[in-house]
Amino acid sequence: MLKSLRRITLMLSLMMLSMASHATERLLTLAPVSKNTYYAEGTSALGSPLNKNFISNAGVVIGPTGVIVIDALGSPALGKQLIDEIRKITDKPIQFVIVTHYHADHIYGLQSFIDIGATVIAQESAKEYLSSDTAQLRLQASRTELAPWVNNQTRLVAPSRWVSEDARLSLSGLDVDIIKMGPAHTPDDLAIYFPSESVLFAGDLVFRGRIPYVGNADSLGWIKSLDKLLRRDAKVIVPGHGPASTSSTEDLKFTRDYLVFVRQAMEQAARDLEPFDEAYLATDWSRYEKVPLFNAANRMNAYNIYLSIQNE
Protein backbone atom coordinates (compact mmCIF):
# COMPACT_ATOMS: atom_id res chain seq x y z
CA MET A 1 0.00 0.00 0.00
CA LEU A 2 2.86 2.41 0.86
CA LYS A 3 4.46 1.70 -2.50
CA SER A 4 1.14 2.45 -4.24
CA LEU A 5 0.74 5.73 -2.37
CA ARG A 6 4.27 6.80 -3.32
CA ARG A 7 3.54 5.97 -6.91
CA ILE A 8 0.34 8.02 -6.91
CA THR A 9 2.21 10.94 -5.34
CA LEU A 10 4.90 10.76 -8.02
CA MET A 11 2.34 10.63 -10.81
CA LEU A 12 0.46 13.59 -9.34
CA SER A 13 3.69 15.58 -9.08
CA LEU A 14 4.51 14.89 -12.73
CA MET A 15 1.00 15.92 -13.71
CA MET A 16 1.34 19.17 -11.78
CA LEU A 17 4.66 20.01 -13.44
CA SER A 18 3.25 19.32 -16.89
CA MET A 19 0.09 21.33 -16.39
CA ALA A 20 1.68 24.25 -14.56
CA SER A 21 3.70 25.11 -17.65
CA HIS A 22 0.41 25.84 -19.42
CA ALA A 23 -1.07 27.99 -16.66
CA THR A 24 -2.16 31.36 -18.01
CA GLU A 25 -4.34 34.07 -16.62
CA ARG A 26 -7.90 34.19 -17.98
CA LEU A 27 -10.15 37.18 -17.65
CA LEU A 28 -13.15 36.39 -15.45
CA THR A 29 -16.28 37.30 -17.39
CA LEU A 30 -19.85 36.05 -17.47
CA ALA A 31 -21.10 34.57 -20.73
CA PRO A 32 -24.84 34.01 -21.32
CA VAL A 33 -26.10 30.48 -21.97
CA SER A 34 -29.85 31.18 -21.75
CA LYS A 35 -32.15 34.10 -21.00
CA ASN A 36 -31.31 34.30 -17.29
CA THR A 37 -28.26 32.04 -16.99
CA TYR A 38 -24.57 32.87 -17.28
CA TYR A 39 -21.28 31.15 -16.54
CA ALA A 40 -17.62 31.95 -15.99
CA GLU A 41 -15.19 29.55 -17.67
CA GLY A 42 -11.88 28.78 -16.00
CA THR A 43 -8.64 28.15 -17.81
CA SER A 44 -7.60 24.61 -18.78
CA ALA A 45 -4.59 24.34 -16.51
CA LEU A 46 -3.53 23.47 -13.00
CA GLY A 47 -4.21 26.08 -10.34
CA SER A 48 -1.30 28.43 -9.73
CA PRO A 49 -0.56 31.98 -8.55
CA LEU A 50 -0.56 32.96 -12.25
CA ASN A 51 -4.27 32.21 -12.61
CA LYS A 52 -5.42 32.74 -8.98
CA ASN A 53 -6.66 29.10 -9.12
CA PHE A 54 -9.20 30.06 -11.80
CA ILE A 55 -9.39 26.61 -13.38
CA SER A 56 -13.04 25.65 -12.86
CA ASN A 57 -16.37 27.06 -13.95
CA ALA A 58 -19.07 28.88 -11.98
CA GLY A 59 -22.68 29.55 -12.90
CA VAL A 60 -25.10 32.40 -12.26
CA VAL A 61 -28.88 32.18 -12.57
CA ILE A 62 -31.03 35.27 -12.08
CA GLY A 63 -34.44 34.54 -10.58
CA PRO A 64 -37.42 36.83 -9.98
CA THR A 65 -36.31 37.66 -6.43
CA GLY A 66 -32.55 37.06 -6.40
CA VAL A 67 -29.47 35.34 -7.75
CA ILE A 68 -28.35 31.71 -7.46
CA VAL A 69 -24.65 30.93 -7.93
CA ILE A 70 -23.29 27.48 -8.80
CA ASP A 71 -19.83 26.99 -7.25
CA ALA A 72 -17.63 29.80 -5.94
CA LEU A 73 -14.31 29.32 -7.79
CA GLY A 74 -10.87 28.62 -6.38
CA SER A 75 -9.88 31.58 -4.21
CA PRO A 76 -11.52 34.36 -2.16
CA ALA A 77 -10.25 36.91 -4.70
CA LEU A 78 -12.01 35.05 -7.49
CA GLY A 79 -15.17 34.89 -5.39
CA LYS A 80 -15.09 38.67 -5.04
CA GLN A 81 -14.45 39.08 -8.77
CA LEU A 82 -17.43 36.86 -9.52
CA ILE A 83 -19.61 39.00 -7.25
CA ASP A 84 -18.40 42.11 -9.08
CA GLU A 85 -19.30 40.57 -12.44
CA ILE A 86 -22.77 39.64 -11.16
CA ARG A 87 -23.29 43.25 -10.04
CA LYS A 88 -22.67 44.36 -13.64
CA ILE A 89 -25.72 42.44 -14.90
CA THR A 90 -28.17 42.66 -11.98
CA ASP A 91 -28.70 44.46 -8.69
CA LYS A 92 -30.79 41.62 -7.25
CA PRO A 93 -29.41 40.09 -4.03
CA ILE A 94 -27.11 37.09 -4.29
CA GLN A 95 -29.09 34.70 -2.12
CA PHE A 96 -27.75 31.17 -2.67
CA VAL A 97 -24.56 29.33 -3.64
CA ILE A 98 -25.02 25.66 -4.55
CA VAL A 99 -21.80 23.62 -4.38
CA THR A 100 -21.44 20.81 -6.92
CA HIS A 101 -18.68 19.18 -4.82
CA TYR A 102 -16.02 20.12 -2.28
CA HIS A 103 -12.88 20.27 -4.38
CA ALA A 104 -10.63 23.24 -3.70
CA ASP A 105 -10.99 24.87 -7.11
CA HIS A 106 -14.76 25.09 -6.62
CA ILE A 107 -15.02 26.19 -2.99
CA TYR A 108 -12.20 28.46 -1.81
CA GLY A 109 -14.22 31.46 -3.00
CA LEU A 110 -17.18 30.60 -0.73
CA GLN A 111 -16.17 32.94 2.09
CA SER A 112 -16.67 35.94 -0.20
CA PHE A 113 -20.32 34.92 -0.63
CA ILE A 114 -20.81 34.19 3.06
CA ASP A 115 -19.55 37.70 3.77
CA ILE A 116 -22.45 39.17 1.75
CA GLY A 117 -25.06 36.94 3.41
CA ALA A 118 -25.56 34.18 0.85
CA THR A 119 -26.82 30.73 1.92
CA VAL A 120 -24.57 27.82 0.91
CA ILE A 121 -26.19 24.51 -0.11
CA ALA A 122 -24.30 21.22 -0.56
CA GLN A 123 -24.72 17.47 -0.41
CA GLU A 124 -24.65 15.97 3.09
CA SER A 125 -21.76 13.65 2.26
CA ALA A 126 -19.45 16.69 2.26
CA LYS A 127 -19.60 16.69 6.07
CA GLU A 128 -17.04 13.89 6.20
CA TYR A 129 -14.62 15.76 3.95
CA LEU A 130 -14.97 19.05 5.82
CA SER A 131 -14.10 17.37 9.13
CA SER A 132 -11.19 15.39 7.66
CA ASP A 133 -7.44 15.87 7.92
CA THR A 134 -7.39 15.77 4.11
CA ALA A 135 -9.36 19.02 3.85
CA GLN A 136 -7.09 20.79 6.32
CA LEU A 137 -3.90 19.50 4.71
CA ARG A 138 -5.17 20.51 1.26
CA LEU A 139 -5.88 24.02 2.51
CA GLN A 140 -2.49 24.21 4.25
CA ALA A 141 -0.72 23.19 1.03
CA SER A 142 -2.80 25.63 -1.03
CA ARG A 143 -1.74 28.51 1.22
CA THR A 144 1.78 27.87 -0.05
CA GLU A 145 1.12 26.71 -3.60
CA LEU A 146 -1.47 29.41 -4.41
CA ALA A 147 -0.17 32.33 -2.34
CA PRO A 148 -1.07 35.14 -2.12
CA TRP A 149 -4.54 34.29 -3.49
CA VAL A 150 -5.05 31.51 -0.95
CA ASN A 151 -3.51 32.51 2.38
CA ASN A 152 -3.93 32.33 6.15
CA GLN A 153 -7.21 34.24 5.92
CA THR A 154 -8.68 31.65 3.54
CA ARG A 155 -11.01 29.31 5.37
CA LEU A 156 -13.19 26.31 4.66
CA VAL A 157 -16.89 27.18 4.60
CA ALA A 158 -19.50 24.63 5.63
CA PRO A 159 -22.98 24.82 4.09
CA SER A 160 -25.84 26.20 6.12
CA ARG A 161 -28.26 23.95 4.25
CA TRP A 162 -27.67 20.29 3.46
CA VAL A 163 -29.39 18.02 0.94
CA SER A 164 -29.29 14.22 1.17
CA GLU A 165 -31.45 13.14 -1.76
CA ASP A 166 -32.95 14.38 -5.01
CA ALA A 167 -35.15 17.39 -4.35
CA ARG A 168 -36.96 20.20 -6.14
CA LEU A 169 -36.40 23.42 -4.23
CA SER A 170 -37.88 26.87 -4.70
CA LEU A 171 -34.99 29.33 -4.61
CA SER A 172 -35.05 33.01 -5.59
CA GLY A 173 -38.45 32.48 -7.20
CA LEU A 174 -37.24 29.58 -9.36
CA ASP A 175 -37.77 25.83 -9.30
CA VAL A 176 -34.39 24.13 -8.95
CA ASP A 177 -33.81 20.39 -9.25
CA ILE A 178 -31.02 19.25 -6.94
CA ILE A 179 -29.80 15.86 -8.17
CA LYS A 180 -27.76 13.69 -5.80
CA MET A 181 -24.99 12.05 -7.82
CA GLY A 182 -22.18 10.90 -5.54
CA PRO A 183 -20.27 8.87 -4.80
CA ALA A 184 -18.91 9.46 -8.30
CA HIS A 185 -16.21 12.03 -9.06
CA THR A 186 -16.43 12.73 -5.31
CA PRO A 187 -18.63 11.32 -2.53
CA ASP A 188 -20.65 14.57 -2.45
CA ASP A 189 -21.40 15.31 -6.12
CA LEU A 190 -24.52 17.27 -7.00
CA ALA A 191 -25.94 18.20 -10.39
CA ILE A 192 -28.28 21.19 -10.59
CA TYR A 193 -31.00 21.59 -13.20
CA PHE A 194 -33.10 24.67 -13.87
CA PRO A 195 -36.27 23.57 -15.72
CA SER A 196 -37.28 27.11 -16.73
CA GLU A 197 -33.87 27.61 -18.35
CA SER A 198 -33.33 24.01 -19.49
CA VAL A 199 -29.76 24.34 -18.21
CA LEU A 200 -27.90 21.61 -16.31
CA PHE A 201 -24.85 22.36 -14.15
CA ALA A 202 -22.96 19.06 -14.04
CA GLY A 203 -19.93 20.00 -11.95
CA ASP A 204 -16.93 17.75 -12.46
CA LEU A 205 -19.09 14.85 -13.56
CA VAL A 206 -18.44 16.30 -17.02
CA PHE A 207 -15.06 17.42 -18.36
CA ARG A 208 -15.59 18.90 -21.79
CA GLY A 209 -12.85 18.91 -24.39
CA ARG A 210 -10.19 17.38 -22.14
CA ILE A 211 -9.30 14.19 -20.33
CA PRO A 212 -11.05 14.20 -16.93
CA TYR A 213 -9.26 14.09 -13.60
CA VAL A 214 -10.19 10.82 -11.87
CA GLY A 215 -8.23 11.03 -8.62
CA ASN A 216 -9.73 8.65 -6.08
CA ALA A 217 -13.15 8.76 -7.73
CA ASP A 218 -15.68 5.94 -7.67
CA SER A 219 -15.46 5.33 -11.41
CA LEU A 220 -18.33 2.83 -11.44
CA GLY A 221 -20.58 5.25 -9.56
CA TRP A 222 -19.47 8.03 -11.90
CA ILE A 223 -20.58 6.03 -14.94
CA LYS A 224 -23.96 5.33 -13.32
CA SER A 225 -24.35 9.04 -12.50
CA LEU A 226 -23.71 10.00 -16.11
CA ASP A 227 -26.31 7.46 -17.22
CA LYS A 228 -28.72 9.21 -14.87
CA LEU A 229 -27.95 12.61 -16.39
CA LEU A 230 -28.33 11.25 -19.92
CA ARG A 231 -32.00 10.74 -19.13
CA ARG A 232 -32.39 14.50 -18.54
CA ASP A 233 -33.48 16.69 -21.44
CA ALA A 234 -31.17 19.67 -20.97
CA LYS A 235 -30.61 22.09 -23.84
CA VAL A 236 -27.36 23.35 -22.28
CA ILE A 237 -24.85 21.65 -20.01
CA VAL A 238 -22.32 23.70 -18.06
CA PRO A 239 -19.49 21.35 -17.05
CA GLY A 240 -17.14 21.82 -14.14
CA HIS A 241 -14.34 22.46 -16.63
CA GLY A 242 -14.48 23.55 -20.24
CA PRO A 243 -16.99 25.49 -22.36
CA ALA A 244 -20.75 25.18 -22.01
CA SER A 245 -22.31 22.69 -24.38
CA THR A 246 -25.46 22.58 -26.48
CA SER A 247 -24.58 18.99 -27.46
CA SER A 248 -25.50 17.56 -24.10
CA THR A 249 -25.72 13.90 -25.05
CA GLU A 250 -22.42 13.96 -26.92
CA ASP A 251 -20.53 15.62 -24.07
CA LEU A 252 -22.01 13.46 -21.33
CA LYS A 253 -21.12 10.40 -23.36
CA PHE A 254 -17.53 11.55 -23.93
CA THR A 255 -16.73 11.46 -20.20
CA ARG A 256 -18.79 8.31 -19.68
CA ASP A 257 -17.21 6.43 -22.59
CA TYR A 258 -13.71 7.41 -21.47
CA LEU A 259 -14.33 6.00 -17.99
CA VAL A 260 -15.84 2.82 -19.43
CA PHE A 261 -12.85 2.41 -21.75
CA VAL A 262 -10.28 2.82 -18.97
CA ARG A 263 -12.15 0.42 -16.69
CA GLN A 264 -12.32 -2.20 -19.42
CA ALA A 265 -8.62 -1.74 -20.17
CA MET A 266 -7.59 -2.17 -16.53
CA GLU A 267 -10.20 -4.60 -15.22
CA GLN A 268 -8.73 -8.01 -16.05
CA ALA A 269 -5.21 -7.05 -15.01
CA ALA A 270 -6.47 -5.55 -11.74
CA ARG A 271 -8.52 -8.61 -10.85
CA ASP A 272 -5.70 -11.00 -11.77
CA LEU A 273 -3.14 -8.86 -9.90
CA GLU A 274 -1.09 -8.42 -13.06
CA PRO A 275 1.41 -5.52 -13.09
CA PHE A 276 -0.13 -2.16 -13.95
CA ASP A 277 2.71 -1.17 -16.29
CA GLU A 278 2.13 -4.22 -18.48
CA ALA A 279 -1.60 -3.57 -18.69
CA TYR A 280 -1.07 0.11 -19.51
CA LEU A 281 1.46 -0.58 -22.25
CA ALA A 282 -0.77 -3.28 -23.75
CA THR A 283 -3.69 -0.84 -24.14
CA ASP A 284 -4.27 1.01 -27.40
CA TRP A 285 -4.82 4.61 -26.23
CA SER A 286 -4.94 6.12 -29.73
CA ARG A 287 -8.63 6.97 -29.31
CA TYR A 288 -7.76 9.53 -26.62
CA GLU A 289 -4.09 10.41 -26.98
CA LYS A 290 -4.79 13.63 -28.91
CA VAL A 291 -7.35 14.89 -26.39
CA PRO A 292 -6.01 17.80 -24.26
CA LEU A 293 -4.33 16.74 -20.99
CA PHE A 294 -3.96 13.12 -22.10
CA ASN A 295 -0.24 13.11 -21.32
CA ALA A 296 -0.76 14.85 -18.00
CA ALA A 297 -3.69 12.85 -16.67
CA ASN A 298 -4.32 9.57 -18.47
CA ARG A 299 -1.67 7.34 -16.90
CA MET A 300 -2.58 8.50 -13.40
CA ASN A 301 -6.29 8.00 -14.15
CA ALA A 302 -5.64 4.47 -15.37
CA TYR A 303 -3.57 3.65 -12.29
CA ASN A 304 -6.19 4.98 -9.88
CA ILE A 305 -8.91 3.00 -11.64
CA TYR A 306 -6.67 -0.09 -11.58
CA LEU A 307 -6.33 0.27 -7.79
CA SER A 308 -10.04 1.01 -7.29
CA ILE A 309 -11.05 -2.15 -9.19
CA GLN A 310 -8.80 -4.17 -6.87
CA ASN A 311 -10.53 -2.58 -3.90
CA GLU A 312 -13.92 -3.44 -5.37
Q: Domains of the chain: which residue ranges? A: 2-311
As a whole number of angstroms, the distance between CA 309 and CA 213 comes to 17
Q: With beta carbons less than 8 A apart as the criterion, state whether 156 and 134 touch.
A: no
Q: Give, to the nearest 10 degrees, the angle between helix 248-271 and helix 294-311.
A: 60
- Per-residue pLDDT of the chain in tens (312 residues, 90 and over written 9): 445 444 544 444 444 434 443 444 568 999 999 999 999 999 877 789 999 999 999 999 999 999 999 999 999 999 999 999 999 999 999 999 999 999 999 999 999 999 999 999 999 999 999 999 999 999 999 999 999 999 999 999 999 999 999 999 999 999 999 999 979 999 999 999 999 999 999 999 998 878 999 988 999 999 999 999 998 889 999 999 989 999 888 888 999 999 999 999 999 999 999 999 999 999 999 999 999 889 999 999 999 999 999 988
Amino acid at site 307: L
2-311 is a CATH 2.40.30.60 domain: no
